[in-house]
Amino acid sequence: MTKIAIIVGTTRPGRIGRAVADWVHQVAGKRTEADYEIVDLADHELPHYDEPIPAAVGQYAGEHTKRWAGVVAGYDGFLVVTPEYNHAPPGVLKNAFDYVHAEWNNKAVGFVGYGAVGAARAVEQLKLVATELSIAPVAAQVTLLIPGDFPNYPEFAPQEFREAELERVLNQLESWSKALAAVRA
């Protein structure tokens, strides 16, 4: 069975990313073609990148890095839930991508962004990062807007059509994740 991680891309106190990830997990849980699990960066102690050798070399020194490598390696694809901070993804999320290299390769990634512009700029930057790590970003994405999807901010209440948008992302993510399994083999 294809395994896909729903990565909660922020650890900020008072974050709403976990509520968004829980919604994604609830929708994804109705599907039968893949198993979805939440991977919350708040549960993984990843200090500011501290490895002495670049991740592309694959010689990880830190125990926290080795644990994170095992987490990333255990999935066939990723669905990243991200806010946008100052027109960019959260530093903790970029840091998580930077820690390991080969474990990301030849897998697929989709994005659910939220914020004033649905984290469109943050996702655009993360797609560049993903491409450098040989992660295939799918075209569909969900862009949750503060005015429409968080009517009583910070309360999350996605508009009805958002589930159909998410289903498009999940369809692409599952098909790409399965196809890339052959590349990894």
pLDDT per residue over 164-176, tens digit each? 999 999 999 999 9
The number of folded domains in the chain is 1
User: What number is the average pLDDT over the span 56-72?
Assistant: 98
User: What number is the average pLDDT over the span 13-39?
Assistant: 97
Quick check: 144 and 158 in contact, CB under 8 A?
yes
Predicted confidence at residue 66, as pLDDT, reads 98
Write out the residue range of the structural domain in which residue 41 sits. 2-184
Please spell the DSSP secondary structure of 96-129, one letter per residue.
HHHH-STTTTTEEEEEEEEETTTTHHHHHHHHHH
Quick check: 66 and 60 in contact, CB under 8 A?
yes
Residue 73's pLDDT band (boundaries 50, 70, 90)?
very high
Predicted confidence at residue 112, as pLDDT, reads 98
Q: Which CATH number does the domain housing residue 127 bear?
A: 3.40.50.360
pLDDT, tens digit, 9 for 90 and up, residues 95-143: 999 999 999 999 999 999 999 999 999 999 999 999 999 999 999 999 9
User: What number is the average pLDDT over the span 40-57?
Assistant: 97
User: What number is the average pLDDT over the span 51-60?
Assistant: 97
Q: What is the H or E stretch that residue 145 is in?
A: strand 135-145
Predicted confidence at residue 120, as pLDDT, reads 97
